[in-house]
Structure 1
Amino acid sequence: MKHFDLIIIGGGPIGIACGLEAKKNGIDYLIIEKGPIVNSLFNYPVNMQFFSSSEKLEIDEIPFISNEAKPKRNEALEYYRRIVTSNNININLFEKVNTIKKENTTFFIETSKQSYAASNVIVATGFYDIPNMINVPGEELSKVSHYYKDPHFFAKQKLVVIGASNSSVDAALECYRKGADVTMIVRSPEIGKRVKYWVKPDIENRISEGSIKVFFNSTVKEILPQHIIIDTPEGEVSIRNDYVLALTGYTPNFDFLQKIGIQLSDDEKKHPKYNDQTMESNIPGLYLAGVICGGMDTHVWFIENSRIHAKTIIKHITSNRPSVS
């Protein structure tokens, strides 16, 4: 069993930033990622455009050059992939971490492929892996998806999009423009306030002109093979339907955090316990980085304001272990 000074769980932008910082400080590290490089970004919609400008997505002051001020998914994949390959980052891909246990001062990590030991661990696992279920009959049908990839698939289909966030609005607009008959089901009385400012007028105009239908203040009651039943302020409505995109957000893997001993707040926010000056959790030597720090408040931490976690954590590790060269 190989022993590392540091094992980083998650190969997204923040996990990579932690690896870069560890390498610069002479720390023997390994990143373990259950999918490809920046797995969450890889699973974003093919045409997705970031809210942030390219310089705010940079890590380790490595320039991110994009065609527009706000880069798209393919440009981000190229940027982070080149960082990993050009810097020879030590990363194991398509390897899932199953358990982390601490005995005395050593962490023992079991994965889908092998076992490791480490003096320190960083959990930077994001939140995109577990969708928020709407918990209605029929949600398990093959016509229902909690992830959206490519609008071409939905051309000439009757598509229902559940939600009014950035992902829902992007999907509705893109699929409408590829020829889908789009209906949105929105629990609130309006399109979400956090929708990208250059997209919000577009969706509101398409709704106003009737190109995209919408039911506000409405919820899904049941999904059937050829219909969807919704509760609206005017009563129950049945809509003929081919596909459903339930884009109602995602949640961190709280079960994983609790199994490894990280304490969560007792309220619905489930904020993990950590020292905001060092990012160290309630378990000495185990650190949190990135969006995982926000619990259910997944909009609080993102790449541009959590990339600093890498420097904060590595500084704390090196200051407490002066023998590390």
Structure 2
Amino acid sequence: MVKRLKKVVFPVAGLGTRFLPATKANPKEMLAVVDKPLIQYAVEEAVSAGFEELIFITNSSKRAIKDHLIPSHELQERLKIEGKLSLLPTINNILPPSIQCVFIKQPEPKGLGDAIKYAHQVINDEPFAVLLPDDLIMSNAENCLAQMVSLYHKTQANILAVEKIEPADSIKYGVISVSQCLDTYYEINGIVEKPSPEKAPSSLGVVGRYIFNYEIFSILEEISAGKDEEIQLTDAIAQLINVQEVLGFSFQGTRYDCGDKFGFVKATMHYALRHPEIGEKVRDYFASFAKLTANSDVI
């Protein structure tokens, strides 16, 4: 029987040091791309893909994430009093009432593998997804996670979202080696964490979407800490490949690395261009700005 995917993990306990001082008091997942924070884009993707239980691995300084996702009756009443009824859907419809949210504290950030391990207590023996809000993926049709769910229902395999990367960027990714390419996915026979360009086994890097069968937890429990005393998810996947099928999925869509300042700016620009309220104004501004910078020393 095909197991249904219902639970998704959001590892959001990281400190966001690359965006200091903006993240000193504000979680990086609450940084806004136009008018929605990264965490909202992430949960919307998961809900649209059919997930019903959202599991957030967080820490004591990330209260703003929970505050954003749960209803704010005080804000609702204030908007009603001020006659701003048109804004109510923007805060009332973040999550459907049927969606369950679970918040689990990770005492200290010890790597992505360690964060995922904390979800075992609520996932038990079910398959599940992992979504990293840093990776914002724009899709014209079915979103990235929904595409992966479709493949899981066909294969029941562990699945990693992958994309082609520049050789020089291999030091930023887990890079896979493949035994076979089948249409939109690859059969993976190895994975290396952040290899140098000359040691990278391919040009396919893993990005922030995963689907795992529950057996990954037993590996995470036994695996030794690596660099900086962190439990690396890549190390667990390398062991998982020896006992279960692991596929690399080439998704349809454009990914923006919002854990990087330039990637965040690119995402903001592209989402602004598509925004129904300001898109046309942004296009006009970009056009005028391009003319201005081409003919002056304005920048």
Same fold at TM > 0.5: no
Higher percent of residues as helix: 2
TM-score normalised by length of structure 2: 0.28
TM-score normalised by length of structure 1: 0.26
